[in-house]
């Protein structure tokens, strides 16, 4: 098999050594299994005869990355997406990442969860990140609303500020608990506008968190409320029940509740299978270098 390694999917990849290394590591894993990795370092390069393409990240917005995605989709070439680590809040690095084929949403990508699994993997992932799964909380006070980026693919086309305004009103309609809003740490460019838009709610026991670590916001939380991104999974790992507004696209779907009327008595489901699932969408650097992911890809797409 031949796989295209699209360094060109990274803006300024030459000055982003950690991101470039992710691509290089994947190429090493491909070659370890006797297959060919072809480097694409320039957006102008013609895409040759390849069986798959590796892209770092995803986008719905016009640009060089979208051009690559559309080109590969048009030619019906499977796209391997490399995305952020759900467990990254425990240990921020690029040594553990998510991989999927032809989609990055939980309900769209192919994650090979039907293939044989290593039952010890969840513990390996937790140990690597210095994390433990907390028991479901037995008490708590505030509702934590988990904001997402104002614009971008993870909001599925919805404006993040509009969603925050709407969800604050809907939460307040079903509970009088204090509401704390955690804005997305990577959305600083919209911070002032977001605060200004939410200001009318501050006299309704609504506030905006200034804490850096999400775990600090989850202390004494009754539950969290999110749209579809990875912090919803963090909430569940830390033992805080989570409501989802767009469950199908979220990896927290199988342990979340979707009816806000349950907010004062949220369900506390068993998380065992869910934890095994989210562990097996992640791969440590050594697994990528050893071609563990690539071998699973070849098993799933052996007809190529």
User: Is residue 125 in some structural domain?
Assistant: no
Show the low-confidence residues of the chain (pLDDT under 50): none
Report pLDDT for 81: 97
Closest C-alpha to 288, from 58, 95, 50: 95
- 273 by Cβ neighbours in 10 Å (0-12 / 13-18 / 19+) ranks as exposed
Same domain assignment for residues 99 and 150: no
Report pLDDT for 186: 79
User: Is residue 14 in some structural domain?
Assistant: yes
User: Is residue 123 in some structural domain?
Assistant: no
What tokens appear for 88 in the block?
A: 């990254």
Same domain assignment for residues 79 and 187: no
Same domain assignment for residues 266 and 180: yes
User: Is residue 126 in some structural domain?
Assistant: no
Report pLDDT for 159: 87
Q: What is the CATH number of the domain that holds 240?
A: 3.40.50.2000
Report pLDDT for 184: 87
Q: What are phi and psi of 215, to 5 degrees?
A: -65, -30
Contacts of 175 (CB under 8 A, 6+ apart): 143, 263, 264
User: Is residue 130 in some structural domain?
Assistant: no
Same domain assignment for residues 289 and 251: no
Report pLDDT for 14: 87
Report pLDDT for 213: 93
Q: What is the CATH number of the domain that holds 107?
A: 3.40.50
H or E element that contains 232: helix 231-237
Same domain assignment for residues 108 and 175: no
Same domain assignment for residues 147 and 264: yes
Same domain assignment for residues 247 and 172: yes
Same domain assignment for residues 110 and 157: no
Report pLDDT for 118: 93
Same domain assignment for residues 202 and 251: yes
Q: Which residues pair with 3 in a beta bridge?
A: 37, 52
How many domains are contained in the chain?
A: 2
User: Is residue 122 in some structural domain?
Assistant: no
Same domain assignment for residues 190 and 80: no
The whole-angstrom distance between residue 201's C-alpha and the CA centroid of its chain comes to 29
Segments forming the whole domain that contains residue 58: 2-116+282-300
Same domain assignment for residues 161 and 70: no
Report pLDDT for 56: 94
pTM, whole model, 2 decimals?
0.93
Q: What is the pLDDT of residues 117-166, one digit of tens each?
A: 999 999 999 999 999 999 999 999 999 999 988 877 777 888 889 999 99
Same domain assignment for residues 18 and 55: yes
Report pLDDT for 153: 78
User: Is residue 127 in some structural domain?
Assistant: no
User: Is residue 190 in some structural domain?
Assistant: yes
């Amino acid at each position: 098999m031949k796989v295209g390694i699209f360094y060109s999917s990274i803006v300024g990849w030459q000055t982003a050594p950690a991101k470039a290394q992710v691509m290089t590591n994947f190429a090493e894993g491909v070659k370890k299994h006797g297959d060919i990795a072809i480097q694409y370092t320039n957006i102008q390069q013609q895409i040759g005869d390849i069986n798959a393409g590796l892209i770092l990240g995803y986008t719905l917005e016009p640009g060089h990355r979208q051009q690559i995605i559309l080109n590969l989709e048009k030619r019906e070439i499977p796209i391997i997406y490399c995305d952020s680590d759900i467990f990254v809040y425990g240990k921020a690095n690029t040594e553990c990442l998510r991989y999927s084929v032809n989609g990055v949403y939980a309900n769209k990508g192919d994650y090979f969860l039907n293939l044989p699994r290593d039952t010890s993997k969840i513990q390996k992932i937790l140990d690597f990140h210095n994390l433990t799964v907390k028991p479901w909380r037995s008490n708590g006070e505030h509702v934590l609303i988990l904001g997402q980026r104002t614009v971008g693919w993870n909001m599925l086309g919805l404006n993040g500020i509009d969603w925050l305004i709407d969800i604050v009103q809907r939460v307040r309609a079903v509970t009088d608990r204090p509401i704390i809003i955690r804005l997305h740490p990577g959305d600083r460019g919209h911070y002032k506008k977001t605060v200004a838009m939410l200001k009318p709610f501050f006299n309704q026991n609504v506030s905006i968190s200034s804490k850096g670590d999400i775990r600090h916001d989850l202390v004494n939380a009754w539950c969290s409320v999110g749209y579809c991104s990875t912090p919803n999974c963090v909430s569940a790992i830390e033992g805080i029940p989570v409501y989802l507004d767009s469950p199908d696209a979220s990896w927290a779907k199988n342990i979340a509740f979707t009816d806000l009327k349950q907010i004062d008595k949220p369900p506390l489901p068993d998380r065992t299978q869910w934890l095994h699932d989210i562990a097996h969408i992640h791969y440590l650097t050594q697994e990528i270098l050893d071609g563990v992911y690539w071998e699973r890809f070849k098993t799933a797409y052996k007809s190529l």
